[in-house]
Structure 1
Amino acid sequence: MKKNLIGYILLACLLCTGCRPKSTASSTTSSVETDSCSTTHIAPVYAQGFQVTYAPGYRLVDVHDPQKEESESYHFALVERGTKPEGIPAGYEVIETPVRSTICMTSLQLSNFAKLDALDVVSGITSTRHLFNKQMKQQLKEGKTVKIGIEGNFDNEVIMSMNPDVIFISPFKRGGYDALREIGIPLVPHLGYKEMTPLGQAEWIKFIGLFIGKEAEANQKFAGIENRYNELKQRVAGVAKRPVVFSGEIRGGNWYAVGGKSFLAQLFRDAGADYFLKDDPRSGGVTLDFETVYSQAESADYWRIVNSYDGVFSYEVLKQQDPRYADFRAFREQGVLYCNMREKPFYESMPTQPEVVLEDLIKAFHPELVPDYTPSYYQLLK
């Protein structure tokens, strides 16, 4: 009898040991935890715009602007489809998961679904401009996915006929969501575009994973992104020379750039370069005049440009747009780093490939560190 009792105790100890959370990533990755006796947990590390709290029968998801701590917040309780758990706090909108049908408002959101091989869940999108994904094009052709109009001018009748489970929105953009709220479909803010770091933006793949029942896949995908990104970042950490880079073009008399606390500035830092506005405290857009940009970027080593040009973009084309461009050192010494959105799926897949973008930049700034690499998005203009 005593032997049997001891045996039961030992068995119980072994079972408890087997139920401890297991890391599915390397020691450098702290963002992936899996409870082998229950479900995979989502625990954002880099993303500042959402938090997840687990409770018996439901998950609480809190969303806010990652650039503003005091911004309006949004609260959702995710429950398993067909269940009605008790104890959900007041103020949380209940959403049954996994979500079966949804609408995406931005390319960034769409990139999350593509990365998770879940485009079949996307029943509506706002625009097909710069759409490269073959599966999404086929779904549009077959009517499995439809266009719902653009922000500020949605076709509510089309949306109601689709009857999606949720609509992912960008509440701080052009809007038009007041009319959508009247339909009664849950509107879920996806604020990945407001994150101030590349890994923070990419980590919103976990946010989508929560809603579509792909938490494990999201954790696994992000772990790969994170490990490769940090590996590349470490590779350039000790570079002796950090080139200076500026960004943007003049449009309508104004030069549109971003501040020194922005996503782009962080990306340049991680690639071993200094952004020309690195000391600017802003995280969002910055409007400057040409003279201000020239005074700070005339001697910069590189000039990053992303646009949509119909044809072969060149230094001559750039000079024709504004003769003053030729006065920049980056123009004179052919240091323009260019991406044409007509040819590259920049906004469609770049958000979930920060490690690829980082290696593109390292190839330009420090080519000796990645000698055999072929860029995917950015290339030095010829």
Structure 2
Amino acid sequence: MNKFSFLYLIIITICFSACNPNRSQEGTNSSSINNSDSAYIEIKYAQGFKVTYLDNYKLVDIQDPQGESETIYRYALVNRGQSHERIPQDYTIIETPVRSLICMTTLQLSNFIKLGVLDKVVGMTSTNFLFNEEMKERIKTGKASQIGIEGNFDKEIIMALDPDVVLVSPFKRGGYEVIKDLNIPLITFLGYKETSSLGQAEWLKFVGMLLGTEEQANHKFVEIEKKYNELKALSESVTNKPIVLSGEMRSGNWYVVGGKSYLAEQFRDAGAEYFLKDNQETGGVNLDFESVYSQGANADFWRLLVSHTGDYSYEVLKASDARYADFKAFKEKKVVYCNLRQKPFYENAPVEPEVVLADLIKAFHPELLPDHKPVYYELLK
């Protein structure tokens, strides 16, 4: 190469570099940020929140993923001690990393268990069916406290805890006015309303942003996603897809979730079909017994979440309603159940969808996972 060609190459390189400066965070949505930076959050499945990276803060918009409410909850996550200038006025400012917080549900708590950051949780509601030993010990030793139940919070305890934020579920019973008076930021957490299993688990990333542990949250989610999709691919090979009934009679109604819910998706991913697969609802549906019987009496399997003291059995199930014995799944002993009094389903399952999926595949297609030992769901004996 002669000296003129070499000089020309240098000039071209400089011009190219000038036209392609390093990426700017200003106005950049998380989905377009360089994925090689493991501290950035990219949303792939969750529909309930989105993230926008700006100068020295992040804007997070949270909205009901099931579309039952159009309210948007807006938060600006700012590094502790940095300027609050230029933040839009309709965003609640949250200084991060959050040092302490209160969880209102075990579904929220599951994210902190998964990330190993229970030391940040200083308060929670009822602990009647709390399984996690670390959280039990924190409450026993006074490092965390019970704050009452939704609609009946203990204002004095909350004031004494002095948390940075409180995670709330605005579509539940509430009673948050008491907390609002304390000027503690309330952060809406809607992971439980996601319509996909991986979407629900992806709220780990939101918790990671609050605590400044984005890299850890990203790593955990990648592991979950990989295992889940591997199991999903495994079940896609089946040709026989059993029909699955879900729910039971409560207070005169049979409560089920719709055909577009995360549970219906789990059944599909496990190589089965939901008995209401043509239903378009993403949330809960109340049906009378006759409606369920006409559509689900011949279902191959019956999935149940029960809260029963002692051993559960077909006799116990029949005793709650004699009509249950008429269902095909009852007659053929294909009830798939989880006893909430014996297993930490709500504490762990939201962030372990791959484990739940393995349980369901084991029940529906045991030949696919011969060595899997059920963790949450198992066939009722």
What is the TM-score normalised by the length of structure 1?
A: 0.91
1:103 is aligned to 2:102? yes
Q: Equivalent residue for 1:48?
A: 47
Structure 2: distance between partners of 1:243 and 1:380: 15
CA-to-partner distance for each residue in 1:86-120, whole Å, 9 max, x for gaps?
Answer: 32122111111000000000111100011111100
Q: Equivalent residue for 2:123?
A: 124
Q: Equivalent residue for 1:24?
A: none
Q: Equivalent residue for 1:73?
A: 72
CA-to-partner distance for each residue in 1:265-304, whole Å, 9 max, x for gaps?
Answer: 1111111111111111111111111111111111100001
For 1:322, give the aligned amino acid.
Answer: D
User: Residue 198 of structure 1 contacts residue 263 of structure 1 at CA under 8 Å; is this kept in 2?
Assistant: yes
Give the alignment of 1:17-32 within 5 angstroms: none
1:309 is aligned to 2:308? yes
Q: Equivalent residue for 2:328?
A: 329
Give the alignment of 1:152-167 within 5 angstroms: 152-167=151-166
Q: Which secondary structure does the structure 2 equivalent of 1:286 belong to?
A: strand
Structure 2: distance between partners of 1:33 and 1:47: 19
Residue range with higher mean Cα deviation, 127-136 or 219-228:
127-136
Q: Equivalent residue for 2:343?
A: 344
Q: Displacement of 1:31 after TM fit?
A: 11
Q: Which secondary structure does the structure 2 equivalent of 1:199 belong to?
A: helix
Structure 2: distance between partners of 1:69 and 1:290: 26
Give the alignment of 1:345-360 within 5 angstroms: 345-360=344-359
State the number of aligned residues: 369
Residue range with higher mean Cα deviation, 244-253 or 332-341:
244-253
User: Residue 199 of structure 1 contacts residue 354 of structure 1 at CA under 8 Å; is this kept in 2?
Assistant: yes
For 2:283, give the aligned amino acid.
Answer: G
Structure 2: distance between partners of 1:253 and 1:32: 51
Q: Displacement of 1:328 after TM fit?
A: 0.5
Structure 2: distance between partners of 1:158 and 1:82: 27
1:206 is aligned to 2:205? yes
Structure 2: distance between partners of 1:162 and 1:35: 39
Q: Displacement of 1:179 after TM fit?
A: 2.0
Q: Equivalent residue for 1:367?
A: 366
Structure 2: distance between partners of 1:47 and 1:59: 17
Structure 2: distance between partners of 1:328 and 1:252: 20
1:146 is aligned to 2:145? yes
- Which stretches of structure 1, 4 residues or more, deviate above 6 A after TM superposition? none
User: Residue 33 of structure 1 contacts residue 43 of structure 1 at CA under 8 Å; is this kept in 2?
Assistant: no
Structure 2: distance between partners of 1:32 and 1:144: 38
Q: Which secondary structure does the structure 2 equivalent of 1:77 belong to?
A: strand
CA-to-partner distance for each residue in 1:19-59, whole Å, 9 max, x for gaps?
Answer: 889xxxxxxxx9996554xx711121100000000011111
Percent identity for Structure 1 against Structure 2: 58
Give the alignment of 1:173-212 within 5 angstroms: 173-212=172-211
User: Residue 31 of structure 1 contacts residue 44 of structure 1 at CA under 8 Å; is this kept in 2?
Assistant: no
Q: Which secondary structure does the structure 2 equivalent of 1:41 belong to?
A: coil
1:113 is aligned to 2:112? yes
Structure 1: distance between partners of 2:188 and 2:34: 25
Structure 2: distance between partners of 1:311 and 1:62: 44
Q: Equivalent residue for 1:296?
A: 295
Residue range with higher mean Cα deviation, 100-109 or 125-134:
125-134
Q: Equivalent residue for 1:25?
A: none
Cα distance change, pair 32–192 in 1 and its aligned pair in 2 (3 A): farther
User: Residue 49 of structure 1 contacts residue 65 of structure 1 at CA under 8 Å; is this kept in 2?
Assistant: yes
Q: Displacement of 1:173 after TM fit?
A: 0.6
For 1:286, give the aligned amino acid.
Answer: V
Cα distance change, pair 69–32 in 1 and its aligned pair in 2 (3 A): farther
Q: Equivalent residue for 2:27?
A: none
Structure 1: distance between partners of 2:229 and 2:163: 37
For 1:57, give the aligned amino acid.
Answer: N
Q: Displacement of 1:321 after TM fit?
A: 1.3
For 2:173, give the aligned amino acid.
Answer: R
Structure 2: distance between partners of 1:239 and 1:31: 37
User: Residue 20 of structure 1 contacts residue 35 of structure 1 at CA under 8 Å; is this kept in 2?
Assistant: no
Q: Displacement of 1:238 after TM fit?
A: 2.7
Structure 1: distance between partners of 2:271 and 2:138: 41
Q: Displacement of 1:10 after TM fit?
A: 8.7
Task: Return 5+ residue gaps in structure 1 as ranges.
Answer: 22-29
Task: Return 5+ residue gaps in structure 2 as ranges.
Answer: 25-30
User: Residue 101 of structure 1 contacts residue 123 of structure 1 at CA under 8 Å; is this kept in 2?
Assistant: yes
Structure 2: distance between partners of 1:358 and 1:151: 31
User: Residue 306 of structure 1 contacts residue 341 of structure 1 at CA under 8 Å; is this kept in 2?
Assistant: yes
Alignment RMSD, CA only?
2.6
Q: Equivalent residue for 1:26?
A: none
Q: Which secondary structure does the structure 2 equivalent of 1:40 belong to?
A: coil
Q: Which secondary structure does the structure 2 equivalent of 1:157 belong to?
A: helix
User: Residue 330 of structure 1 contacts residue 336 of structure 1 at CA under 8 Å; is this kept in 2?
Assistant: yes
Q: Equivalent residue for 2:247?
A: 248
Structure 1: distance between partners of 2:266 and 2:344: 18
Structure 1: distance between partners of 2:33 and 2:267: 26
Q: Displacement of 1:320 after TM fit?
A: 1.3
Cα distance change, pair 191–49 in 1 and its aligned pair in 2 (3 A): same
Q: Displacement of 1:239 after TM fit?
A: 1.2
Structure 2: distance between partners of 1:72 and 1:129: 32
Q: Displacement of 1:70 after TM fit?
A: 5.9
For 1:174, give the aligned amino acid.
Answer: R
Q: Equivalent residue for 2:136?
A: 137
For 1:287, give the aligned amino acid.
Answer: N
